[in-house]
Amino acid sequence: MVATATLATFLLAALASLFMAWAIGAGSSGSTPFAAAVGANAISVMRAGFVVGVLGFLGAVLQGANVTEAVGTQLVANATLTATAAIVALLVAAALVALGVFAGYPIATAFTVTGAVVGVGLALGGDPAWAKYREIGALWVLTPFVGGGVAYATARLLRNDDVPERLAVPFLAGLVGAIVANVEFAILPGPDGAGSIAGTVTRAAALPGSPLVGRLAVTLVLSVLVVVVLAREMADSQERGQRRFLLVLGALVAFSAGGSQVGLAIGPLVPLLDVVALPLPAVLAGGGLGLLVGSWTGAPRMIKALAQDYSSLGPRRSIAAMIPSFAIAQAAVAFGIPVSFNEIIVSAIIGSGYAAADESGGGVSAAKMGYTVLAWLGSLVLAFGLGYGSFTIVDSLLG
């Protein structure tokens, strides 16, 4: 039996986690996936908030384990987060994210949660996990360059008069289809407990040759099917085909957001699960529910801010921004790295915006970008300092 005091402390930590999940859903995971689609008038603000909530919940349940475990157990070495430490870290991070939501600036959730967890972990007596920090730092630093660069190149391709859009857009959709075919889902069987569509089909069909060759063949077939379907849609109406592809991209990014961002909300609870005998999937579902409620209640404000304040987007620029965003998000989920969807999406929007600055007469607000970058860096430092200081004070009072 779990002691009453222990259970009460865990419930308090769980409430803090739900508050964090709401703040993330209202901010990062709820606003960024469909911001480009709203900017391109492919979907309304309110409908985007509703859809992203549902898809975020599904992503949390089906892909949330990797980042959740990383946040809960890999950010600090030689120390295990206590219930008190989890509560302090979650409240500090959630307060900063919520402040960003109500102020209208997208605070990088991964920065705040990582800073807060590391801060309380070091205050608890742990050591820096330098190997994980290098992994995280590499992704954070590379994201603006890779995401922005790919978005820029994609936007240039779509605006090239020598490359017809009826061919370019289906080709890009085929690349996205290839990525989807190899994304791992918890409900599919695999060597590590989760499997991909391509891997599952390869094993079920018992294709001859090596598993890698079979997987590549399945991936190629699925990719070609996607190209054919969208090419037929584009032949009927290029505008309708573009918008539908953009909506699919938004849905994929929203799903990926749930798989990554839920770990930022419930990751600090992982060390406590054995004490209260709760399975991780149940906690993932609870965190996904928090993301859903946050998306429905708070995301529309941030969606509007990203879609209208950062750049005036057309369908082509939006497609160019969403493709690298989806790819980077899935890479982060696969490697268990906490990542900021605000950083991913905003970097991609900037890249596509520079490539097509005259497409719709709009551009990127340099002042807004500058304030956002300062908010990101400031949130990391502030979350670390508040996490370390707050836990030190609380621990001394309780001790």
Please answer whether residues 40 and 311 qualify as being in contact, where contact means their C-beta atoms are separated by less than 8 angstroms.
no
Task: Summarize the confidence of residues 381-392 as an average pLDDT.
Answer: 94
Residue where the block lists tokens 């961002």? 261
Please give the Cα distance from 29 to 27 (Å, whole number): 6
Please give the Cα distance from 399 to 100 (Å, whole number): 33
In this prediction, residue 62 has a pLDDT band, given cuts at 50, 70 and 90, of very high
The domain spans of the chain are: 4-398
Please answer whether residues 375 and 100 qualify as being in contact, where contact means their C-beta atoms are separated by less than 8 angstroms.
yes
Say if residue 59's pLDDT is above 90: yes
Task: Summarize the confidence of residues 29-40 as an average pLDDT.
Answer: 69
Q: What is the pTM of this model?
A: 0.86
**Cβ-count burial of 193 within 10 angstroms (0-12 exposed, 13-18 middle, 19+ buried)?**
exposed
374 token code pair: 């300062």
What pLDDT does 310 receive? 44
In this prediction, residue 29 has a pLDDT band, given cuts at 50, 70 and 90, of low
What are the pLDDT digits (tens) for 90-140? Answer: 889 878 877 776 776 656 788 999 999 999 999 999 999 999 999 999 999
Please give the Cα distance from 325 to 322 (Å, whole number): 5
In this prediction, residue 223 has a pLDDT band, given cuts at 50, 70 and 90, of very high
> Rounded to 5 degrees, what are φ and ψ at 336?
65, 45
What pLDDT does 384 receive? 95
Please give the Cα distance from 334 to 33 (Å, whole number): 18
Task: Summarize the confidence of residues 185-195 as an average pLDDT.
Answer: 80
Sequence-distant (6+) residues with CB within 8 A of 334 are 66, 184
What are the pLDDT digits (tens) for 238-284? Answer: 888 888 898 899 899 889 989 988 999 899 889 888 777 789 999 99
Q: How far apart are the first and last CA of the chain?
A: 25
Please give the Cα distance from 258 to 242 (Å, whole number): 25
Nearest Cα neighbor of 154 from 48, 257, 249 is 249
167 token code pair: 């061919």
Distances (CA, A) of 298 to 31, 87, 342: 9, 23, 15
What pLDDT does 240 receive? 83
In this prediction, residue 8 has a pLDDT band, given cuts at 50, 70 and 90, of confident
